[in-house]
Amino acid sequence: MNNADGMAIGGTDRPGWFALWMQASRAWTLGMPFMCVSVGTFAALYREGAFSPIRYLMAVAAAMALQAGANMVNDYYDFIKGTDSPDWQSPENFGPGLVIQRGYLHPEQVFRGGVAAFAAGIGLGLWLAWLCGWPILALGVIGVAGSYFYTGAPLSLAYHGLGDFMVFALMGPGYVLGAYYVQALHFSATAAVVSLPIGLLCSGVLQANNLRDIDNDAAHGKRTMAVIIGRAAAVKELKLSNLGAYLIVLIATIAGLAPWLAIAVVITAPHALEETRLVSDGPDADRHNRAMMLSGQIQFEFGAVLVAAFVLSALLRHI
């Protein structure tokens, strides 16, 4: 059986169905929404003493489903627009899912998989909105629209230089504030402030990706921010995003909006420095792939340190 471009569907090297859909959804990226929701959740534990495990798990599952849906819809549109063409070489772990390019799935199957993931996320989001109120519904509508239209027609925001902002807004303020509200049923300055470094680091993951793909994107009319401002300026943007994340946590700690233990995020700084060194060395695919790996690692580790700071500070308060 062949797909629309003549590529074989199936074959002896075809992954099993579970591994195939994990690859299609780019499961390795799902740690980002997980950590965004975790930061907001445990900020509520620290500030309000509020924690519902069921609501936490529902929020995590909804965010991860939306991320998986966005990934599959993104791969579908990038493929049909020629950005991720069959001959475009990208290591499996850090580029698109490649299930279309390798003939494992038809483009339409990937699109339908993305829609199914969105449906799952929407269903969980509506349940949370019923439990927690209209602010979750409002954030959910914005999150779904932003995730789909990131590359989905007709807006295709990533093709017009808005991808960095959308990732920052949705994964930072969107997920962190939403997760906080799910637990506390109101917002707070703490949630708003800690959402900013998380959003900056998530945006940094995208910027590292766009720096690697800058020439391919420019050749196919995908005007990411990196394409618009150029490689040198995009590297500076990444450096400023990383620096801003650490400075915001420092300021939040001094202002009493975050626990003093939060300054421990500095232990992740060596990875941030290594990431920016790698992308500063020029257009080398191997270095950029290592930078992409580090960018995701930084976001996860940074978030994990914040979560640990919130939990430990909440526990110390009761000792």
Cα(252)–Cα(248) distance, integer angstroms: 6
Residue 255 lies in a domain: yes
Ordered DSSP codes for 154-207: TT-GGGBT-HHHHHHHIIIIIHHHHHHHHHHSS--HHHHHHHHHHHHHHHHHHH
CB distance 307 to 39 below 8 Å: yes
Residue 197 pLDDT exceeds 90: yes
Q: CB-hemisphere CA count at 13 Å for 221?
A: 8
Q: Is the pLDDT of residue 149 over 50?
A: yes
In this prediction, residue 18 has a pLDDT band, given cuts at 50, 70 and 90, of confident
pLDDT at 84 over 70: no
pLDDT tier at 92, thresholds 50, 70, 90: very low
Question: How confident is residue 93, by pLDDT bands cut at 50, 70 and 90?
Answer: very low
How far apart CA 69 and CA 71 sit, in angstroms, is 5
The yes-or-no verdict on residue 95 having pLDDT over 70 is no
Q: Tokens 């766009």 map to which residue? A: 210
The number of distinct structural domains making up the chain is: 1
pLDDT the model gives residue 88: 47
* Environment class of 33 (CB within 10 Å of its CB; exposed 0-12, middle 13-18, buried 19+): buried
- Based on the number of CB atoms within 10 Å of its own CB, is 299 exposed (0-12), middle (13-18) or buried (19 or more)? buried
| pLDDT, mean of residues 185-203 | 96
CA within 13 Å, CB half, 99:
31
Residue 8 pLDDT greater than 70, yes or no: no
Structure confidence at residue 85 (pLDDT)? 55
Number of other residues whose CB lies within 10 A of the CB of residue 108 = 13
d(CA 207, CA 268): 18
What's the pLDDT band for 16 if we cut at 50, 70, 90? confident
Q: Which domain covers residue 70, as residue numbers?
A: 20-311
Task: Report the chain's mean pLDDT, rounded to a whole number.
Answer: 89
Lowest mean pLDDT of 86-95, 205-214, 230-239, 260-269, name the range. 86-95
- Is residue 14 in some structural domain? no
Reported confidence tier of residue 96, pLDDT bands at 50, 70, 90: low
Residue 2 lies in a domain: no
Check which CATH number belongs to the domain holding 116 and give it.
1.10.600
Asked if residue 7 belongs to a domain, the reply is no
Does residue 208 lie in a domain region? yes
Give CA–CA dist 22/33, Å, rounded: 16
**pTM of model > 0.85:** yes
The answer as to whether 197 is a domain residue is: yes
Percent of the chain with pLDDT over 70: 91
Q: Is 284 within a domain?
A: yes
Q: What is the mean pLDDT of residues 154-161?
A: 87
Over residues 193-213, the mean pLDDT reads 93
15 found inside a domain: no
Report whether pLDDT(317) > 90.
no
Listed residue (37, 32, 42) closest to 307, CA to CA: 42
Maximum mean pLDDT: which of 46-55, 102-111, 206-215, 290-299: 46-55
Q: What does the alpha-carbon distance between residue 144 and residue 123 come to, in Å, rounded to a whole number?
A: 11
Average pLDDT over residues 118-134: 97
Q: How far is CA 10 from the centre of its chain?
A: 30
